[in-house]
Amino acid sequence: MIHFTNEIEAAKMPNSVEPIATAAMRRRTFLKGSGAVLVLATAGGIWRAYDRGVFTAGTGPAYEPWKNWRGETDHGPLALVRSAILAANAVNSQPWLFKVTPSSIELYADQTRNTGAFDPYLRELNISLGCALENLLLAAPPNSYEASLTLFPGKLSALSENPKSELVARIDLAPGARKESELYQAIPNRHTNRFPFDEQKPIPADFVDELNRATADEPDVKLFSFITDAERRKVADIISKGAAELVHSYPEMLAGNVRWDRDSHSIQKFRDGLTIDDFGQPPLATALLKFLPESMEKVTSPLQIRISYVELMMRGRLLGAIAVRARYDRAQNIAAGRIWQRVHLLATARGLAARPANQAAELVDQERLHGKQPTAASALTEITGEASWQTTFMFYMGYATHPAHATARRPVEQVVV
């Protein structure tokens, strides 16, 4: 699961599809009687709205790094770190630390910021590091640096009982000519979009060609794209079945993400994790989910988007898989993360939206951890058609129907050691 973000929630969606038009009609019906509820709430407890952050989504210090990512006070390598911390990452856990000198930046995996049984081999944690690394390298030329990357080899193994920080990469910096790029400029606009996409708008062929060239400089990473209806349906079915299997057969893994659930107060305190605002529901439904007690959540049901997970993915007109030669090689997963960040930035620059759909890849980890037959790995090989490539990350893309929300970020001061 990766935010890249809480994609497992999709597995809990109802199997039946409620068309958007129907949802809109039910919304209007609900609003006819909603005034009295809101007036009573105002008279007897408007504090609940402020207490739950109904009116303050995406505001406050936790979101400042998106606005000051090119702060005028930054000089030297810290400017690169400001870009790195805006990268996609699993459950917004932000599992990175940086050691900065005038001529180098070291990237550390902060393994204490893991998602527990959800990511038992820290595979998605390392993909997250790759996303941060890609942003950092993209930021070097615009800040007048030439960057040279060294990845330190390692194998992914079961999560330690005493996780710690581990050096995974070093970036050596030398003076260079100032040069900006399209992907660099897209960094502050890239967000995971969980709203349904526009199913009527196809993705241009030239964009698909660009996407397929994204791994040209990575010999151990390959991107597979699926654009026909038949291809996408087959991939979406495999992902959806993987999501259901995770929920029903491995319920203990869900606990790994509880620590990253945030409300309006804790998001400002910790500046990580996810809130209700991040899950792709219409504004009024999101506000009421925060405003009303959980016991009254059914009141918001008419306002929520109800759609099956398969249909949600099918509304993305492109599904993709990022594969590596060795699924539990650390450097290769970091490289895969670089590719995901790169293609997400490319999509952002071209006006498209993107969202991870990684449950089938996560199921491979669970089957391995519990000594079961590798049925998920076999299913993934079936869709790529190449057994020598092992899928480590999956996603879908399309044109957005609603803008995506930014997620909280820890400031540079908290991630530099």
Q: What is the CATH number of domain 1-72+192-411?
A: 3.40.109.10
Phi, psi of 160, rounded to the nearest 5 degrees = -75, 150
Model pLDDT, residue 289: 63
Question: Is 133 exposed, middle or buried, given 0-12, 13-18 or 19+ CB atoms closer than 10 A?
Answer: buried
As given in the structure block, the two tokens for residue 170 are 């070093």
The Cα angle at residue 208 between residues 206 and 211, in degrees rounded to 5? 115
Residue 399 is encoded by which pair of tokens? 């044109």
Sheet with strand 353-356: strands edge to edge = 221-226, 318-324, 390-398, 353-356
Instruction: Write the DSSP symbol of residue 403.
Output: P
Radius of gyration (C-alpha) of the chain in whole angstroms? 21
Q: Average pLDDT of each block of 10 consecutive residues along the chain (417 residues)?
A: 45 36 34 38 49 66 94 79 98 98 98 95 98 98 97 94 95 96 98 95 96 95 98 97 94 84 92 85 65 54 74 97 98 98 98 97 97 97 95 98 94 96
- Determine the Cα–Cα distance for residues 79 and 178; give it in Å rounded to an integer: 13
Beta bridge partners, 226, equal 319
In the numeric block, which tokens belong to residue 93? 């856990």
Tell me what pLDDT residue 27 has. 34
**C-alpha distances out from residue 231 to 103, 147, 226, 317, 369, Å:** 47, 39, 6, 11, 29
Neighbour count for residue 312 (Cβ, 10 Å): 23
Cα separation, 325 vs 12, whole angstroms? 32
pLDDT recorded at residue 25: 33
Residue 118 in tokens: 């959800």
3-class DSSP state of 8: helix
pLDDT of residue 115: 94
Do residues 341 and 131 lie in contact, with contact meaning Cβ atoms separated by under 8 Å? yes
Neighbours of 374 (CB within 10 A): 13
Angle in degrees, 0-180, between the axes of helices 229-249 and 375-384, rounded to the nearest 10: 170
pLDDT score recorded for residue 96? 98
What pTM did the predictor assign?
0.87
Q: Distance (Å, rounded) from C-alpha 169 to C-alpha 342?
A: 18
> Which tokens hold the place of 343?
């293609």
Q: Of 328, 399, 409, 337, nearest to 364 (Cα)?
A: 328
Q: How far is CA 337 from the centre of its chain?
A: 11
- What are the backbone dihedrals phi and psi of residue 124, each rounded to the nearest 5 degrees, phi first? -70, -30
- E strands within 191-232? 221-226
- Total residue count of the chain as it appears in this document: 417
Instruction: Give the contacts of 202 (CB within 8 A, at least 6 positions apart).
Output: 317
Strands (E) in 317-398, as ranges, are: 318-324, 353-356, 390-398
Name 104's bridge partners. Answer: 101, 172
